[in-house]
Amino acid sequence: MLTIFPVIMVMRQTTRFIKNQLHYKFGKSNFISVSKKFTTLHFLETGMRETIRKEVAELLENAIELRHRFHEIPEKSFEEKKTAQLVAHELRKMGLTVEEGLAGTGVATTIQGERVGNTVALRADMDALNIEEETSTPYASKHKGFSHCCGHDGHIVCALETTRVLVRLRKQLAGSVRVIFQPGEENGTGAQEMINADALGSPLPSAIFALHAWPHLESGVVASKSGLITSAIDYFRITVKGKGGHGARPHESISPIIGIARITENISALSGKGDHDTPPCAVSVGMISGGKQSNVIPDHAAIEGTIRSLNETDRQQTVERFSSMVKTICSKERLGFDIDFLKYCPPVQNHPDLYHLFEKVGAELIIPEKRAYITEQSMGSEDFGNFTQLLPGLLIRLGMGSSSPQLHTSKFDFSDASLETGITILVGLAMKATETDFKIGLGQ
Ligand SMILES: [Zn+2]
Ligand SMILES: [Zn+2]
């Protein structure tokens, strides 16, 4: 069983961990931005805008073909072997030194620029979902029961092609860019495991960027917001213990199935939009298990699900309401119960300075029709939150088209038409962010 916070083995990581927890506890924007001036490369004045656009345009055909190859081989969290091999192969073709086997299947590389600057990081996630694909594309999943229906195939290719452009623009690149391809995002633990495996390198990069496919925006639109952008997530399991017996004599048994049904029914009342007495939160059940035969009342049954919350106060309040509801139902039904919180992932906090940089780079490189502002945080979660606890980070949404099927559904397919802006914004951010020093601080 996994505990809420991972066990950190070495002293350096322990220090980081304590710092993280302090940062999370005190919340909000505790970042202090320290500016160390480097020479600035103006995209517009130096013709870099045209250079970047040309570089991206030239690789698009190849990028689409590569995206389809990744799409064909979706793999389970922490089993992304073929995917990681293909990522490493592509990076080696660019002449880069590749680190493999980080946190199991993670891959990382560094692009060293020829100008003076900082180190920043780009992160892509590689895993797929246990959902049978129902698209009719010629490149549909060849792995039965699995599909890239969260768009991570597109994230991989955006990061790979950004790397390709940065390698070609090494002369103009200040500092270095660390690119990491992580396993197990869907599992909620891959980011932390990559941090524990020192995938970010040392010293830590001064900023980290990632993007995620987003069906709620037109194809190719890049959008983000400052501050909170995704919720925190707790994974729970409730095991209810009763007294099993013959299906013909339910009065002689205490059915855990009835208890589980009552709990499931009451869980929807815990979710709220932040009005009345309920904080903004989402509680849902994703798995029910119990019993093996139709005429046998089992001894125990279980449900698993998630609690999403936007801050620590709301999280504690929701967990308390949740636990008290389970306790009330079980005592009424004379059932025993255990509640296990299996894993936790913090919310993604976008650093305000990085959001400002995103707006600036967007205005220089991306046409206005392909830019948008996100006003509300999502109740979805991203283990990128583990990175933004540690260093300034920015998560960008990349539009898949308003008619796109939703993420985590069998018909979803990453939009190839979005690759151009996805790659362009990452190239621009990497090149600009290495010219600035974004430092994290506590206590202000
Ligand atoms: Zn997902
Ligand atoms: Zn995802």
Say if residue 172 is in the same domain as residue 290.
no
* CA of 409 relative to ligand 2 center, distance in Å: 12
Say if residue 219 is in the same domain as residue 128.
yes
* CA of 407 relative to ligand 1 center, distance in Å: 7
**What are the contacts of 136-143 at 24+ separation with CB within 8 A?**
137/68, 137/71, 137/413, 138/68, 139/68, 139/69, 139/71, 139/72, 140/71, 140/72, 141/71, 141/72, 141/73, 141/74, 142/72, 142/73, 143/73, 143/74, 143/75
* CA of 244 relative to ligand 2 center, distance in Å: 40
Give the number of the ligand closest to the Cα of residue 187: 1
Say if residue 42 is in the same domain as residue 160.
yes
Structure tokens at 250: 């339910």
User: Does 356 fall in a domain?
Assistant: yes
* CA of 257 relative to ligand 2 center, distance in Å: 33
Q: What is the pLDDT of residue 270?
A: 86
* CA of 210 relative to ligand 1 center, distance in Å: 14
User: Does 440 fall in a domain?
Assistant: no
* CA of 364 relative to ligand 2 center, distance in Å: 28
Q: Which of 345, 379, 413 is the last residue of a domain?
A: 345
User: Does 55 fall in a domain?
Assistant: yes
Secondary structure class of 18 (helix, strand, coil): helix
The b/e string for 253-267 (b: 16+ C-beta within 10 A; e otherwise) is bbbbbbbbbbbeeeb
* CA of 408 relative to ligand 1 center, distance in Å: 6
Q: What is the pLDDT of residue 16?
A: 44
* CA of 419 relative to ligand 2 center, distance in Å: 16
Structural domain range at position 258: 232-345
Say if residue 158 is in the same domain as residue 26.
yes
Q: Which of 345, 367, 385 is the last residue of a domain?
A: 345
User: Does 439 fall in a domain?
Assistant: no
* CA of 381 relative to ligand 1 center, distance in Å: 9
User: Does 389 fall in a domain?
Assistant: yes
Say if residue 209 is in the same domain as residue 258.
no
Structure tokens at 123: 């992160």
DSSP 292: S
Domain of residue 403, CATH code = 3.40.630.10
* CA of 129 relative to ligand 2 center, distance in Å: 9
Say if residue 222 is in the same domain as residue 320.
no
Q: What is the pLDDT of residue 41?
A: 64
Give the number of the ligand closest to the Cα of residue 408: 1
Q: What is the pLDDT of residue 202?
A: 87
Say if residue 287 is in the same domain as residue 414.
no
* CA of 50 relative to ligand 2 center, distance in Å: 31
Q: Which of 294, 316, 345 is the last residue of a domain?
A: 345
Q: Along the 444 residues of the chain, how does pLDDT read in single tens digits?
A: 333 333 333 344 444 434 433 333 333 333 334 344 455 667 777 789 999 999 999 999 999 999 999 999 999 999 999 999 999 999 999 999 999 999 999 999 999 999 999 999 999 999 999 999 999 999 999 999 999 999 999 999 999 999 999 999 999 999 999 999 999 999 899 999 999 999 999 889 999 999 999 999 999 999 999 999 999 999 999 999 999 999 999 999 999 999 999 999 999 888 876 666 666 889 999 999 999 999 999 999 999 999 999 888 889 999 999 999 999 999 999 999 999 999 899 999 999 999 999 999 999 999 999 999 998 888 889 999 999 999 999 999 999 998 999 999 999 999 999 999 999 999 999 999 998 766 543 222
Say if residue 204 is in the same domain as residue 105.
yes
Domain of residue 255, CATH code = 3.30.70.360
Say if residue 340 is in the same domain as residue 365.
no
Say if residue 375 is in the same domain as residue 354.
yes
Say if residue 158 is in the same domain as residue 19.
yes
Say if residue 330 is in the same domain as residue 378.
no
Q: What is the pLDDT of residue 25?
A: 33
User: Does 1 fall in a domain?
Assistant: no
The whole-angstrom separation of Cα 352 and Cα 394 is: 9
* CA of 385 relative to ligand 1 center, distance in Å: 14
Q: Structurally, how many domains does the chain consist of?
A: 2
User: Does 4 fall in a domain?
Assistant: no
User: Does 438 fall in a domain?
Assistant: no
Q: What is the pLDDT of residue 272?
A: 76
